[in-house]
A and B are shown apart, each in its own frame.
Chain A
Amino acid sequence: MRSGCIWVSRHDGAVMAVTVETYATAEEAGRALRTGGDARYLGGGTIVMRAINYGDQSFRRVVRATDPALRQVRAQGARVEIGSGVTMAEVIDSRELAFLAPVARWIGGPAVREVATVGGNLFAEHPYGDFAAALLALDAVVTEVGGATRPLEALLSARTRGTQPLITAVSVMRPEAGAFRFAKVSRVKPKGVSVMSIAAWLPQQGGRISGARIAYGAMAATPIRTMGVERALEGKTLDAAGIAPALSAATDGLQPPSDALASGWYRREVAPVHLRRLLLGEAA
């Protein structure tokens, strides 16, 4: 383990010390994270370095791992396991992850994608985390250091309570050709921060939807599944009449947050429009 120390300016002019600890394995980094309670894990740096630059007082230790296992992509039957340290640029370049490449292209600009990791996106605060919404729609299961697994939904739910374990990999279903769709809505062209994002996995049997999973980004504190939409799509055809009940249920149970990009009211109003466009394959 290597470590060092930096003094970071706080907004009030005082300084704080942050130490950086670098470990060769995820297991060692995981142990270090559990020690002391004042540590943050640094993946690519888009979250933690920003926090350091702005004098975040909520942590005093930065833990990172150089473990090559965190950068692997492995096919596992109908699923694909993605190391948490895999970057968005690597997702775009990966043949195994071709179905996620269009999602990764929506994450930041090219320089951000060089470092932004799959694991980091799971912990990105609203309105970020669009990639996590896509993973959620693809029935993601996360693996924590030590080997324990749980659905991504459980991790996201725990995240709002401040629990942040070290995730080593995310396993997702590999969708059939054409069965996975993603849209990100932004007011900035060609791209910007989300007003909302929608990810839809739409398996079909005999021309009818069976077992759809729909997830939103930027419509709640964390990426979230829309169970009402999923139920309304079951057994339906992907046409205007078939999706009408799903559009009615587009924001059931949701209280979208307001921020500088859009009010919660605006998000609720536009959600059915963008959901319809995605489901019918209409241009945004």
Chain B
Amino acid sequence: MSKTPLQFRLNGAEKAVFVEAGSNLLDVLRRGVGDMTPKYGCGQGACGTCTVLVEGRPRLACLTLAETVSGQHVETAASLSDGPDLDPLQDCFMEHFAAQCGYCTPGMLMAAKALLDRHPAPSREQVVEAISGNICRCTGYEPIITAILDAATRRGRRAG
């Protein structure tokens, strides 16, 4: 079986791996480099739990041909915390009970990060739109929306 060399940056660290050509990015992240934060949900782009950022933009890792991220920066939920210090998004998800089973959480966090990086003070409608491709079957979404709005406020306070 032929393999293709792939170099990219993952959460700020250079990665060079051989991947089965044609693999999706989710397989490469989980099996290739051992980042288990993006999850496999539906494999068809419907659930959003594999959401990562590529060059700062949200992408579904399960639908991304791995070789297309060559030379690019991929960020997963593993990038958010600095050891025990959580990102405000993670703090707010905990405080507002925005995670129950937790399976959607890595994708939700990255979808939210993509939004807040582009729109630091989003409206509720922008938050709803930002997570519209991410399915949560536990929370009913309201705690997640509240958490993201609160995180935006905290980020703004920290930046100010």
Contact = CB atoms under 8 A, between A and B. Distances in A.
Contact of A111 (B3, B43, B51, B128): B51
Contact of B114 (A22, A44, A46, A110): A110
Nearest to B60: A111
Binding site secondary structure of chain B: mixed
B22 A190 contact: no
A50 B45 contact: yes
A110 B44 contact: no
Contacts of B16: none
Contacts of B58: 109-111, 114
B130 interface: yes
A93 to B, nearest CB: 11
A242 interface: no
B22 A62 contact: yes
Given A49-B64, A111-B60, A19 B133 contact: no
Given A110-B114, A111-B60, A112-B133, A6 B45 contact: no
A89 interface: yes
Q: How large is the interface on A (under 10, 10 to 19, 20 to 34, 35 or more residues)?
A: 20 to 34
A4 B64 CA distance: 16
Interface string B36-70: 00000001110010010010011110111101100
A5 B44 contact: no
Q: Is the interface of A mostly helix, strand, loop or mixed?
A: mixed
Contact of B44 (A6, A19, A22, A54): A54
A74 interface: no
Given A49-B65, A109-B132, A110-B130, A18 B22 contact: yes
Contacts of A105: 129
A109 B43 contact: no
A150 interface: no
Interface string A51-81: 0111000000010100000000000000000
B133 A5 contact: no
Q: Which of B54, B63, B131 has the most CB of A within 10 A?
A: B63
A114 B3 CA distance: 27
A62 B24 CA distance: 13
A5 B129 contact: no
A167 B96 CA distance: 48
A45 interface: yes
Contact of A6 (B20, B51, B115): B20
Interface of B: 1-4, 20-24, 43-45, 48, 51, 54, 57-60, 62-65, 67-68, 111, 114-115, 128-134
Interface of A: 2-8, 18-20, 22, 42, 44-46, 49-50, 52-54, 62, 64, 89, 105, 108-112, 114-115, 190-191
Closest 6 CB pairs of A and B: A109-B133, A4-B21, A6-B22, A53-B43, A111-B58, A50-B44
Given A64-B65, A110-B114, A110-B132, 19 more contacts: A5-B1, A8-B22, A20-B67, A42-B65, A50-B45, A53-B43, A53-B44, A54-B43, A62-B22, A89-B57, A109-B111, A110-B111, A110-B115, A111-B111, A112-B133, A114-B57, A115-B63, A190-B129, A190-B132
22 contacts: A3-B21, A4-B3, A5-B2, A19-B22, A20-B21, A45-B68, A49-B63, A49-B65, A50-B45, A52-B22, A109-B132, A109-B133, A110-B130, A110-B132, A110-B133, A111-B111, A112-B60, A114-B54, A114-B57, A115-B60, A115-B63, A191-B132
